[in-house]
Chain A
Amino acid sequence: GENVEQHPSTLSVQEGDSAVIKCTYSDSASNYFPWYKQELGKGPQLIIDIRSNVGEKKDQRIAVTLNKTAKHFSLHITETQPEDSAVYFCAAPRRGGGSYIPTFGRGTSLIVHP
């Protein structure tokens, strides 16, 4: 099955700095890698994803990079703002029942200090 490890567990930055969260996965067949943001009292929300046929994807201040050879992918947030404070989860799919079941990392608590 898939094993996803996420680091760091906690990340504290000053407003305006960049933040990077890294995940590694074990199943070389995995081909879809989403990132979720979870604010207090809410369910996780998909913020960006990447498929295995590309190495990088950007959406305004957020980017995700993928290294299939090394089996790791990272979330990059530039010019961080206090509203970026949340718990971020990465995920990688593991095959099950003919489709894919996301296995999640343990999460990173990002704190952006104003």
Chain B
Amino acid sequence: GAGVSQSPSNKVTEKGKDVELRCDPISGHTALYWYRQSLGQGLEFLIYFQGNSAPDKSGLPSDRFSAERTGGSVSTLTIQRTQQEDSAVYLCAIGRTGSGNYGYTFGSGTRLTVV
């Protein structure tokens, strides 16, 4: 969606390889979220960044998953030693925080296929 660019749009990788997914939001949004959507499933929360605070990593499914956000803007989600069950669409979203405007905007996602 407008305001959030994700790359690549599609990624096919071999089992056991590492992958890096990128989220590039427009400036001015302090909150950034990563979600995972498996085929026919809902949106599974992975990790949340809010300004300079420590990220909320409570949704990461295993220690193979990690994410960082540099300079309060671009974020990368890294999956190490990919497994077939990691195949999903990975969505990045941004949101405003503060006095109550929580309008979240999602990117179009990265479709990851592990073969």
Contact = CB atoms under 8 A, between A and B. Distances in A.
Interface of A: 31-32, 34, 36, 41-46, 49, 51, 89, 91, 93, 96-107
Interface of B: 1, 4, 31, 33, 35, 41-43, 45, 48, 50, 53-56, 58, 91, 93, 95, 97, 100, 102-109
B58 A96 contact: yes
A79 B4 CA distance: 32
Contacts of A99: 31, 48, 50, 97
B43 A45 contact: no
Given A46-B104, A106-B42, A98 B48 contact: no
Nearest to B103: A46
Contacts of B31: 99
A46 B93 CA distance: 11
A108 B17 CA distance: 34
A31 B100 CA distance: 9
B42 A104 contact: yes
Q: Which of A43, A91, A98, A99 has the most CB of B within 10 A?
A: A43
Given A32-B102, A91-B104, 14 more contacts: A42-B1, A43-B4, A45-B106, A46-B104, A97-B54, A98-B50, A98-B53, A99-B31, A99-B48, A100-B102, A101-B45, A102-B45, A104-B42, A107-B43
Contacts of A102: 33, 45, 95, 102, 104
18 contacts: A32-B100, A34-B102, A34-B103, A43-B1, A44-B43, A45-B106, A46-B103, A49-B103, A89-B43, A91-B104, A96-B56, A97-B53, A97-B54, A97-B56, A98-B50, A99-B50, A104-B42, A106-B41
Given A99-B50, A99-B97, A43 B91 contact: yes
